[in-house]
Amino acid sequence: MDAQIETKELSKWFGEVVALNNVSVQIPSGVVGLLGPNGAGKSTFIKLALGLYRPSRGEIRILGKKPRNNFQILSILGYCPEMDHFVEEVSGFEFLYWLARYSGYHPKAAKKRVGDALERVHMVERMYDPISTYSKGMRQRIKVAQSLLHDPQILFLDEPMNGLDPTAREELFHLVIGLGNEGKTVVFSSHVLHEVERVTDTVILIYNGRVLALGKIREIRDLIQNHPRTIVIETMEPKKVYQLLSSDSNITSVNFDTQFLTVHTLDPLQTFKCINEIILEGKIPIFSFHCADEDLQSVFQYLISTHIPRGL
Partner 1 sequence: MPVFSFSYRPFEGKYIRRFRWWVVFLEEVRLWNRSRIFIVLFILGMLQPIARFIQIILYNAAIQDPNHPLAPLIRSVTWIKVDNELYFHFIRLQAPLVLLILLYVGAGAICADRKNRLWDIYFSKPIHWYDYLLGKLLSVVFCGFSLTFFPALILMLTDYTTKKSSTWLGLISYFPIVSDSLFFSLILVLPIALGIIAASSIFSTENITVISIVTLIIANTSLAGLLSNFMRDGNYMQVSLPVAIYFMGQRVFNIDRNIFFRTMDDINVTGMFLYIVSCCVLFLLISIIQVRKAEKG
Interface residue list for partner 1 (CB under 8 A): 47, 50-54, 69, 71, 74-75, 77, 79, 81, 83-90, 94, 98-99, 101-106, 108-109, 112-113, 115-116, 119-120, 124-125, 128, 146, 148, 150-151
- In the bound state with partner 1, the residue whose beta carbon lies nearer, of 101 and 240, is 101
- In the bound state with partner 1, the residue whose beta carbon lies nearer, of 81 and 268, is 81
- In the bound state with partner 1, the residue whose beta carbon lies nearer, of 160 and 238, is 160
The least distance separating partner 1 from the CB of residue 46, rounded to whole angstroms, comes to 9
Q: How far apart, in whole angstroms, are the C-alpha atoms of residue 97 and residue 53?
A: 26
The least distance separating partner 1 from the CB of residue 63, rounded to whole angstroms, comes to 15
The least distance separating partner 1 from the CB of residue 75, rounded to whole angstroms, comes to 5
- In the bound state with partner 1, the residue whose beta carbon lies nearer, of 80 and 278, is 80
Q: How far apart, in whole angstroms, are the C-alpha atoms of residue 52 and residue 220?
A: 31
The least distance separating partner 1 from the CB of residue 101, rounded to whole angstroms, comes to 4
- Yes or no: say if 141 and 168 are a contact pair by the CB < 8 Å rule: yes
In angstroms, how far is CA 69 from the centroid of its own chain? 27
- In the bound state with partner 1, the residue whose beta carbon lies nearer, of 39 and 51, is 51
The least distance separating partner 1 from the CB of residue 139, rounded to whole angstroms, comes to 12
For residue 207, CA distances in Å to 6, 86, 211, 213, 215 come to: 19, 29, 6, 10, 15
Q: Any long-range contacts for 172-175 (C-beta under 8 Å, 24+ apart)? A: 172/121, 172/144, 173/198, 173/199, 175/120, 175/121, 175/144
The least distance separating partner 1 from the CB of residue 32, rounded to whole angstroms, comes to 18
- In the bound state with partner 1, the residue whose beta carbon lies nearer, of 123 and 220, is 123
The least distance separating partner 1 from the CB of residue 85, rounded to whole angstroms, comes to 5
In angstroms, how far is CA 6 from the centroid of its own chain? 18
The least distance separating partner 1 from the CB of residue 126, rounded to whole angstroms, comes to 10
- In the bound state with partner 1, the residue whose beta carbon lies nearer, of 118 and 161, is 118
- In the bound state with partner 1, the residue whose beta carbon lies nearer, of 149 and 203, is 149
Q: How far apart, in whole angstroms, are the C-alpha atoms of residue 116 and residue 110?
A: 10
